[in-house]
Structure 1
């Protein structure tokens, strides 16, 4: 009986193993089908089930690569294949948290059949904000990987991104950011917000929802069943109302849709009557998109019409339109011929609602990788866009560049918190008059799969000061004060002072600024400051400046200018006074002065004329040595011909005090200065 029972147990165990093997095959086979169809979410679920059916001992999944040892076969080989596919499925679905876990195991196999695993493990670590660990993996990959392909070409950029992110960790953020509350981020992906007015936004969403029906029409049971046959997650345009980063009552915008197409990522013309919208389909994982135009008649949007070949080139993608606030330019992203690589940024000059021929924004903006979602402030000439082709925090990062569609400055990463280790895209301003004060972005930083809408607000930092009249010590009403960025060589703002004489500018942290104060018939003055001191405070008060009044051709005495007795040699204490003249001339680069010297009445006319000329020349030579152009300086010795006090008393006795006053050095303005409020000189 014992033998019979044992025999049945052996047979039963064999059946169980056979069924279990069949389940493993079925799970993996199903997962492979989803994977090949690019449904990576479903693939991950089935690869995970297949993985749970293996009976693998812990020591079997430890690193095995030893000299002379061949790769595993059988169950262990299948197990590693499923781990590899599971890691890739999570990554391709942007679930970097789970992908990191499985890539860590895959890298631990040290299996030469998976030479790219280290790179993708680094990508997942970087996407999860673990920059130091990611940097280690990228450096390992760079040393060990021998193939010449896209990954080997990309890894230096990934290394640079990790190094940049580590360096950026201690920098003061320029913005605050918070996920938009209400029901904007409710279900599916929510992104590409467009501000219609201060209380209304339009955005793209893939939430499961039925399209709007005519007023009074109810959705039938048959219609509901029909809708459930296809995917309920179709992208369309929605609006929501609210304020203070809280928007409720999201509703689908009544824009005619075409079956089988998603639509969204739109731009609204300045007058609110033209809507440029992206429409796309996805077949076999390949996206095909184009830009359409819908016009508003009354309260209704008309059927969107596809734009012509100057925007949409057959067989290529065009998407993410943006209209400038002045209506002069249409910007968009496209992989059309003539670009640098993947999607580039392009622009058209608008003729009403009709765009002209598309022009590539050039290598100053575009790279061989992705450039998407342009935003342009026409008043300040600043372009904001997202790219993964430049050194940043990882994924798509926001960059800004200054230009006028003719030339562009080198794009600058906009830093944290606008950028994150994941994708950050679709910048839009809350107020077009102050485009970088507040607005919205889209990011998947808090989501496994999808973009969400975030509200942003620039951190307000203030630099202020007081301008006085040097003679009266009263506030200098009517003076103008200009703030300049000395690194970007750009005028930021100019204000005219009121009766208080105080100025106040909103500034960014960690920037170098120049403040220029000026008024008609006053010497201009400038101060420089670094706003880095604002990292822990909200405001700073610059030193009080006083402006000195002058009249053309009217001499101004320089006190405490001394020379060696009977000579033209300047004493050291005199140089300190002349340094103030150097500062004045640097702050007033358009004026020319005469530097003059005078003597008392002791000595002959010839001697005093020669001595005073030499002393005036000594002053001029010193100014030249400090970098002042000789073309702005004239040396003139007047000897004893222009006394300002009696050299002798009425009783003909010597007047030491008078002679002391006559032994003087002066300067006078020979030509009137030109306003320097647009002066771009750097610090």
Structure 2
């Protein structure tokens, strides 16, 4: 089974189980190992067979035979490393990390880079803490070698930290797989929305293993398909079974076809044709078809330097940038390249119908790694593209940059959940209405032929309305802002976000369908709470801002506070129903101010002996403590003390010596005292989270900004082995 880079994704290892002859089809022909003649070979012959399969690109078959050989020699570092390499090429990150780690433990001298690759595979599966540890060990274990790769390892560590922060602060968006009508077990690519009713994309449209020789070539080349949305479904963006795209003569029985887009006027259609050579290397060319005389003309190979001899040109996207039509594309040409695949552009002259000489998009966009799938949205004047050379959450991430076509600013990683630990490419917005989007990814949840992350699907990005909770922290007495305060926002599930307010102002980005409680935390202050509800908000609703105020007051240590209506019947310690409101207020105070320790004092009237009243009042104080504990307050923060008949607040008897029931009732009371304000239990601001209003908004909406971040260095020996563009 030979894996072919069919769908031309820079990162995406397209899992096409395509085989070129009976020798490479061996594994499929003999599915029962007992009937497989290769399985019966001796060690040396089977090893040569496995190595031959590996060199030819048949990684799945090679992987199976390396595992058979490992049963004979389980501690052979070469076999372990080769199994790891196969798993990496198959984008099966979990066994890849396991085998790389084992190879390093068996022979770190022979395979010193294995620990770097292990860390990379841990990162690609989202195990960021483990990946950081292994990247750091790679740096430590190689003090004098692998200079470029160590710099890249540090870049990967930065990416892990960015990813963890982004996952904890996701942008308001849902990302959903388009489903089995559109996606298959093979790779889908280049989604292109046709208005709001249909989606053009490229696919092989197969869920079964394809063997060359048993099927016609036209059965396994990729081709354009179009899928229309169901009109009457409650859930939008539900797509029908796709049909061949027959607008023009674009699909070809010989070539892999994809990456389609229309010119701004709709009269030209750009796309790519790709063909693999004997070494399974894909070369792509950009074609253009013009609509004339009520039909599409024959596709014409673009000249004028757009298609460069000896390299691939792919993923065209043409858009208006200012008053000019600009054709963006990705190419691995060498001259003026920054390394790998770069984003290039050419200005189109509609009068002369010619293209200017292509120019590199520059160092603000391109790195020594790979950049791919450019898309320009002239509504916001931004270029979107995929890159594995900047700081990323996994493999390829989607980035945006303002400006164009040659100068760019504000390079930004779009953040989670658009980007994940897997590969993301082909980001594109809807052409009208709310700017939802599409992206291609091999994240878990994709329809897979072999392993959960083998293959790329098209995913739908549905942006949520941006609902901000904005406000101030004010001093209860002076009504002035309180600076240097940590504001906390907690949802109904207990998830917490913090904001370091330098001047008393704060802003949070909330999610739809939640109830939030906001409090402030500052040494020697207690906080009230504010609430924000987003439960009634719909996805189609516009952005909104809710303004709230949080009041704080000075903490009074060792001062008694009366709990109103915490009164008791004669000779009883049971809490009365009217006590609930005051007890809830105390519970809220304790929850919103976790640094406080409190002592509960309870009293009796003067009837009864000293010893009896001490015991009864102790029971009353403990009844309050038990109530607080039942409602979520740690017992360690509470203490109870019965005061008996001490310190009456009203006369137990009248001046004439008669019993005074009203006074006795007031004396049967409860108070509380703040004993300590423990600094270590206050919320400590996490400096990795956003800290000012402007920065918070940018980071939460778009993930971590990376403007002015240098690109990662590439090392061709250890670069992504699955890098292909088409």
TM range (shorter): 0.5 to 0.7
Cα pair 1:122 1:134 within 8 Å, conserved? yes
Q: Give the whole-Å Cα distance in 2 for the aligned partners of 1:350 and 1:227.
A: 44
Q: Give the whole-Å Cα distance in 2 for the aligned partners of 1:253 and 1:87.
A: 40
Per-residue CA deviations over 1:19-69 (Å, capped at 9, x if unaligned) read 9884333432222111111222222122223323x165xxxx4xxxxxxxx
Selected match of 1:452 from 447, 451, 457: 457
User: What's 1:321 paired with?
Assistant: 316
User: What's 1:166 paired with?
Assistant: 164
SS in 1 for 2:171: coil
User: What's 2:188 paired with?
Assistant: 190
Q: Give the whole-Å Cα distance in 2 for the aligned partners of 1:329 and 1:534.
A: 38
User: What's 1:443 paired with?
Assistant: 441
Selected match of 2:48 from 29, 46, 51: 29
Q: Give the whole-Å Cα distance in 2 for the aligned partners of 1:30 and 1:307.
A: 43
User: What's 1:236 paired with?
Assistant: 223
Q: CA deviation at 1:190?
A: 0.6
Name the CA shift for 1:20/1:182 in 2 (closer, same or farther; >3 Å). Answer: closer
Q: Give the whole-Å Cα distance in 1 for the aligned partners of 2:504 and 2:201.
A: 43
Q: CA deviation at 1:358?
A: 1.6
Q: Map 1:278-427; keep pairs closer than 5 Å.
A: 278-283=272-277, 284-296=279-291, 301-324=296-319, 328-336=325-333, 337-352=335-350, 354-427=354-427
User: What's 1:103 paired with?
Assistant: 100
User: What's 2:671 paired with?
Assistant: none
Q: Give the whole-Å Cα distance in 1 for the aligned partners of 2:272 and 2:244.
A: 16
When normalised by structure 1's length, the TM-score is 0.58
Cα pair 1:31 1:43 within 8 Å, conserved? yes
Q: CA deviation at 1:126?
A: 0.5
Q: Give the whole-Å Cα distance in 1 for the aligned partners of 2:125 and 2:95.
A: 10
SS in 2 for 1:94: coil
Q: Give the whole-Å Cα distance in 2 for the aligned partners of 1:80 and 1:406.
A: 48
Q: Give the whole-Å Cα distance in 1 for the aligned partners of 2:39 and 2:363.
A: 57
Any unmatched runs of 5+ in structure 2? 1-37, 231-235, 445-451, 471-496, 517-532, 535-543, 550-693, 698-726
Q: CA deviation at 1:325?
A: 5.8
Cα pair 2:195 2:432 within 8 Å, conserved? no
Q: CA deviation at 1:309?
A: 2.9
Structure scoring higher RCO (CA < 8 A, sep ≥ 6) equals 2
Q: Give the whole-Å Cα distance in 1 for the aligned partners of 2:99 and 2:404.
A: 47
User: What's 1:246 paired with?
Assistant: 238
Q: CA deviation at 1:249?
A: 2.0
Q: CA deviation at 1:196?
A: 1.2
Q: CA deviation at 1:432?
A: 4.0
Selected match of 2:508 from 529, 532, 537: 532
Q: CA deviation at 1:266?
A: 1.8
Cα pair 1:182 1:247 within 8 Å, conserved? no
Name the CA shift for 1:531/1:321 in 2 (closer, same or farther; >3 Å). Answer: farther
Name the CA shift for 1:26/1:295 in 2 (closer, same or farther; >3 Å). Answer: farther
When normalised by structure 2's length, the TM-score is 0.55
SS in 2 for 1:417: coil
SS in 2 for 1:328: strand
Cα pair 1:364 1:410 within 8 Å, conserved? no
User: What's 2:131 paired with?
Assistant: 134
Q: CA deviation at 1:397?
A: 0.5
Q: CA deviation at 1:531?
A: 4.0
- Tell me whether 1:144 sits opposite 2:141 in the alignment: yes
Name the CA shift for 1:510/1:450 in 2 (closer, same or farther; >3 Å). Answer: farther
Q: CA deviation at 1:529?
A: 7.1
Cα pair 1:423 1:444 within 8 Å, conserved? yes
SS in 2 for 1:246: coil
SS in 1 for 2:405: coil
Per-residue CA deviations over 1:202-252 (Å, capped at 9, x if unaligned) read 111133499xxxxxxxxxxxxx99771559432221111115232122123
Q: CA deviation at 1:299?
A: 7.7
Q: Give the whole-Å Cα distance in 2 for the aligned partners of 1:55 and 1:231.
A: 43
Any unmatched runs of 5+ in structure 1? 1-18, 62-78, 211-223, 466-508, 513-526, 545-679
SS in 1 for 2:241: strand
Q: CA deviation at 1:405?
A: 2.8
User: What's 2:63 paired with?
Assistant: 44
Cα pair 1:182 1:246 within 8 Å, conserved? no
Cα pair 1:339 1:360 within 8 Å, conserved? yes
Cα pair 2:88 2:96 within 8 Å, conserved? yes
Q: Give the whole-Å Cα distance in 2 for the aligned partners of 1:131 and 1:163.
A: 8
Cα pair 1:373 1:426 within 8 Å, conserved? yes
User: What's 1:588 paired with?
Assistant: none
Aligned length: 439
Name the CA shift for 1:123/1:55 in 2 (closer, same or farther; >3 Å). Answer: closer
Name the CA shift for 1:540/1:272 in 2 (closer, same or farther; >3 Å). Answer: same
Q: Map 1:457-606; keep pairs closer than 5 Å.
A: 457-462=462-467, 531-534=507-510, 538=534, 539-542=544-547
- Tell me whether 1:270 sits opposite 2:268 in the alignment: no
Cα pair 2:260 2:270 within 8 Å, conserved? yes
Q: CA deviation at 1:88?
A: 0.4
Q: Give the whole-Å Cα distance in 2 for the aligned partners of 1:202 and 1:47.
A: 41
Name the CA shift for 1:143/1:246 in 2 (closer, same or farther; >3 Å). Answer: same
Name the CA shift for 1:299/1:250 in 2 (closer, same or farther; >3 Å). Answer: farther
Q: Give the whole-Å Cα distance in 2 for the aligned partners of 1:423 and 1:175.
A: 18
Cα pair 1:424 1:441 within 8 Å, conserved? yes
